[in-house]
Amino acid sequence: MTHVVTDESDIEALDMKCEPSDQNDTPEATAGIRSVEEIQPIRFYAAQPIAYVVEGMIAAGTITAITGDSGSGKSTLAMAIANAVSKGIPFAGLATIKCRVLVLDRENPRDVVAERMQRLGIEDGPDFIVWGGWCPEEAPSPWSSRIEEYVRQTAPVIIVDSFIAFYDGDENDASQMRAFMRGLRRLADLGATVVLLHHSGKNDSNYRGSTDFKAAIDIGFKLFNFGDPSRLTNLRLKAFKPRFEVLRQIVLNCRGGRFESDQKPVACTTEVTVKQIIMSNPGIKTKEFENSAAAKGIARNQARGWLDDAVKRHLVRVETGLHNARFHYWAESSEPPA
């Protein structure tokens, strides 16, 4: 039985205000910037390399969509990912970064969620909160003020189950879709990692609704279940929107309540990896670049040699700052990594 967020005190822990906070154009939202000239270079706001909450799958501070047919296992998969991330343990052999997880669920009844968690052998708690319809109040909009405050305090992973359960507009209306997704982008900008579950469309399309859905997300995976839907023994995640370098296909099986992969993830080539470091971190300094490459198993001298060569070939643009600091940008005329 789910036991977190079951009474008023639990809800109050996430702040008791409920009004939407999508107020990017209000004076309150822009009070920190008195004039356009005060805006700093992007490296001032985001100087760190892209981190992955789940290696090769979910990038921190982004919007990741997992789509699929009804009953394909999206919610079960999301729960397993939530459990792994909340504990900082590998998911199906993929490394994770430990952080809090909040599941906003308007899709599943209490008994189904409780059975699913029991089958997976997982429990919720302070680092893994499930806010569902069985609580005294149903899960609010993801960008409500209480959720925004929780994001500011904890930089969690927020799983939205599902898109259609929280979306009140016309799925095919681009402007309505864009407004909804802008609310999720606000959370990502504040530090949340958003995982959005959504249905696939007709005729084997990757998602249902306006093309603005794909435009608004950073990473998109479609989940295929080729086995018995009740057992989740033959699952495949295929990337259809990789704004960042991700695994293009992940093969999964659920055995004994644990997700496993029958194939070793294919590592990115050195060239693709270092390209992605530059593209994902505009204005990155030489030492930061080498450190990021080293963290991915690439020797510093090898990374430095690639960077020097890329500058000579005009693939990477260099700007010089104070004390001869060198800031690197992927040249706009270059093609992104395949």
Query: What local confidence, expressed as pLDDT, does residue 282 receive?
Result: 87
Residue 232 corresponds to which tokens in the numbers above?
A: 């989740």
Q: Do domains 8-260 and 270-330 have the same CATH topology?
A: no
User: How many of the other CB atoms lie within 10 Å of CB of 85?
Assistant: 26
Domain boundaries, the chain: 8-260, 270-330
* Cis before 162? omega within 30: yes
* CATH code assigned to 270-330: 1.10.10
**Confidence band for 45, pLDDT divided at 50, 70 and 90:** low
205-252 residue pLDDT tens: 999 999 999 999 999 999 999 877 777 888 999 999 988 778 889 999
User: How many of the other CB atoms lie within 10 Å of CB of 272?
Assistant: 13
Residue 319 corresponds to which tokens in the numbers above?
A: 């700007």
Among residues 225, 223, 233, 288, which one has the least CA distance to residue 260? 233
Residues 6+ away with beta carbon under 8 Å from 325: 285
Query: What local confidence, expressed as pLDDT, does residue 43 receive?
Result: 64
Place of tokens 């990789």: 242
C-alpha distances out from residue 310 to 279, 313, 317, 338, Å: 13, 5, 9, 17
26 has pLDDT over 50: no
User: How many of the other CB atoms lie within 10 Å of CB of 116?
Assistant: 16
Q: Report the alpha-carbon distance of residue 279 to residue 268 in Å, rounded.
A: 15
Residue 291 corresponds to which tokens in the numbers above?
A: 């450190």
Taking each helix axis from N to C end, the angle separating 270-280 and 300-312, rounded to the nearest 10 degrees, works out to: 70
Q: Report the alpha-carbon distance of residue 96 to residue 283 in Å, rounded.
A: 26
Residues 6+ away with beta carbon under 8 Å from 267: none
SS3 239: strand
**Confidence band for 163, pLDDT divided at 50, 70 and 90:** very high
The residue count of the chain comes to 338
177-216 residue pLDDT tens: 999 999 999 999 999 999 999 999 988 899 999 999 999 9
Could you tell me the pTM of the whole model? 0.70
C-alpha distances out from residue 288 to 49, 177, 292, 306, 324, Å: 8, 37, 6, 14, 15
CATH 3.40.50.300 fits 8-260, yes or no: yes
